[in-house]
Amino acid sequence: MQPIFARPMSLSFDNTEIAFRHRNNKELKRAHFLFNSMSSAFLTKVGIGLTQFAFKFGLPVKGIIKNTIFEQFCGGETLEEAAKTASVLAPYNVSVALDYGVEGKTSEADFDHAVPEFIKAINYAASQPNIPFIPIKVTGFADFSLLEKIHAGKTLSGEEQKAWVRVQVRIDQICAAAAQKHLMILIDAEESWIQQPVDDLANIMMARYNKQYTAVFNTFQLYRHDRLEYLKESFRLAQKDGFILGAKLVRGAYMEKERARAEAMNYPNPIQPDKETCDKDYDDAVAFCLQHLDQIGLFVGTHNETSCLKAVDIMNERQIPHNHPRVWLAQLYGMSDNITFNLADAKFHVAKYLPYGPVKDVIPYLMRRAQENTSVAGQTGRELSLIKKEMRRRGL
Ligand SMILES: Cc1cc2nc3c(=O)[nH]c(=O)nc-3n(C[C@H](O)[C@H](O)[C@H](O)COP(=O)(O)OP(=O)(O)OC[C@H]3O[C@@H](n4cnc5c(N)ncnc54)[C@H](O)[C@@H]3O)c2cc1C
């Protein structure tokens, strides 16, 4: 691969023509309507409440959800539909993390059933040049309360021990299938009170499959005050055991839940004292990984423009080619296209998390996106102003 180094001019995320060139006018207007609605905290709260109520009582809302928030943030209901969406991104050098986004399953049968579903996605991804990643959530393969018990260090019953072995086998089957096809598995981070077994599994899989390339990534949530140190500790472990550390860096999506639980159960809040500290740890984590690219595969998952620009600056300073095979910058599908597409235009390796699955099963994911776009200061305003700018440019 021909290395591509820094451009003399600085990178900007304001070019809306580049940002939205994959969106037709109808899609742009839909995005405008959606982000406008979500900018109202009241409307979002009511919308989330009504959606959860409607699905619980079987009211016919699937059509409305599918044509609005689902279309914006999801690739489709099936692998075939998601594949079509992924192919729309390919001409712009935007890669895809094909995310079977079904959540909230609880039975062993569901966990077993998830494995072939993921293997199908892996096989499809392997046939496509722009789908190098498959994200997984361990809670898609394991009972939440089992993970909670392991995290808390409680003794497992015989049945629970067997269930835990089954979880490890499921995750191993997926990582093995991906490694065989030279794909990359991203193990998502979830609630802090189940993270220990998730980290343990990730470390086992990385030690097994990351000898030649970064086949498996663990996720580090820098909104936790202990994770920058844990990233460094993980790196030491990887060095000691001779494997490449896969580091997917995010700020974290469960902040309110984390705070509420810590308060209710009277233990210290695992979240950083403020946003500035979270931002600092995030950027320090990116810098740390970029310093050790010979032994770390880095996946920068963020919609924060400053963090992306800082990563780009460090790459430029250190003469790291934009298209370095171990550096990826990624955003969620339907959000921050200005970052993704402008980075892609400057030849960085970029990816979109593209969730798919039946509408009712991706509702928790969609509700997180709605909440995030309301409660996170600035994000909706930024999306809206960019969409408006592009609509004006197109004369809409
Ligand atoms: C590709 C990709 C993959 C992702 N995968 C995961 C995953 O596996 N697990 C997961 O949990 N999340 C994941 N996320 C979501 C992510 O954690 C964030 O919720 C989201 O991206 C918003 O953070 P940001 O970095 O974009 O930046 P910003 O919009 O700048 O930051 C918002 C975030 O900062 C943090 N924050 C806000 N206020 C405070 C405060 N007062 N104190 C401390 N921290 C604060 C919160 O994490 C909040 O979400 C992913 C995001 C992307 C783009």
Element holding 220 (H helix, E strand) = strand 216-221
Segment 154-191, tens digit of pLDDT: 999 999 999 999 999 999 999 999 999 999 999 999 99
Identify the band that residue 118 occupies on the pLDDT scale cut at 50, 70 and 90.
very high
Residue with tokens 């320090």: 284
- Smallest CA-to-CA distance from 47 within 386, 374, 387 is with 374
d(C-alpha 89, C-alpha 93), whole Å: 7
* Ligand 1 mutation pick, 250, 256, 258, 340, max ligand atoms within 8 A of CB: 250
Q: Burial letters for 229-259: b for 16+ Cβ neighbours within 10 Å, e otherwise? A: ebbeebbeebeeeebbbbbbbbbbbbbeebe
Cβ 4 vs Cβ 321: under 8 Å: yes
CA-nearest residue, atom 21 of ligand 1: 302
Residue 324: what are its φ and ψ, rounded to 5°?
Answer: -55, 130
* pLDDT, position 2: 60
Pull the structure tokens for residue 383: 């999306």
Atom of ligand 1 nearest to the CA of 271: 43
26 CA → ligand 1 middle, Å: 29
Task: Answer whether 310's CB lies under 8 Å from 259's CB.
Answer: no
Mutational test site, ligand 1, from 184, 216, 227, 251, max ligand atoms within 8 Å of CB: 251
φ, ψ at 315 (rounded to 5°)? -60, -45
Residue 255 CA to ligand 1 centre (angstroms): 9
Whether residue 188 contacts residue 219, with contact meaning beta carbons closer than 8 Å, is answered with yes
Distance (angstroms) between ligand 1 centre and the Cα of 339 equals: 15
Question: pLDDT tens across 191-243, in order?
Answer: 999 999 999 999 999 999 999 999 999 999 999 999 999 999 999 999 999 99
At residue 76 the predicted structure's pLDDT band, cuts being 50, 70 and 90, is very high
pTM above 0.75, yes or no: yes
- Residue 271 Cβ contacting ligand 1 at under 6 Å: yes
CA 152/CA 371 separation, integer angstroms:
29
User: Is ligand 1 within 6 A of the CB of residue 275?
Assistant: yes
Confidence of residue 8 (pLDDT cuts 50, 70, 90): very low
Contact 253, 372 (CB under 8 A): yes
Compute, in angstroms, the gap from residue 59 CA to the centroid of ligand 1. Answer: 32
- Listed in sequence order, the DSSP H helices in the chain are 16-19, 25-38, 41-56, 62-65, 71-73, 79-89, 108-126, 144-151, 158-180, 195-209, 227-241, 255-265, 275-291, 305-317, 337-345, 363-375, 379-393
Q: What is the dihedral of CA 261, 375, 186, 11, to 10 degrees?
A: -150
**How far apart (Å, rounded) are the C-alpha atoms in residues 221 and 304?**
14
Tell whether ligand 1 has an atom less than 6 A from the beta carbon of residue 272.
yes
Distance 253 CA to ligand 1 centre (A): 5
Q: For 32-41, 181-190, 285-294, 332-341, which range has the lowest pLDDT when averaged over its residues?
A: 32-41
Residue 9 has pLDDT above 70, yes or no: no
As given in the structure block, the two tokens for residue 2 are 């021909």
Separation between Cα atoms, residue 367 and residue 360, nearest integer Å: 11
With a cut of 80, say whether residue 16 has pLDDT above it.
yes
Ligand 1 close to Cβ of residue 337 (< 6 A): no
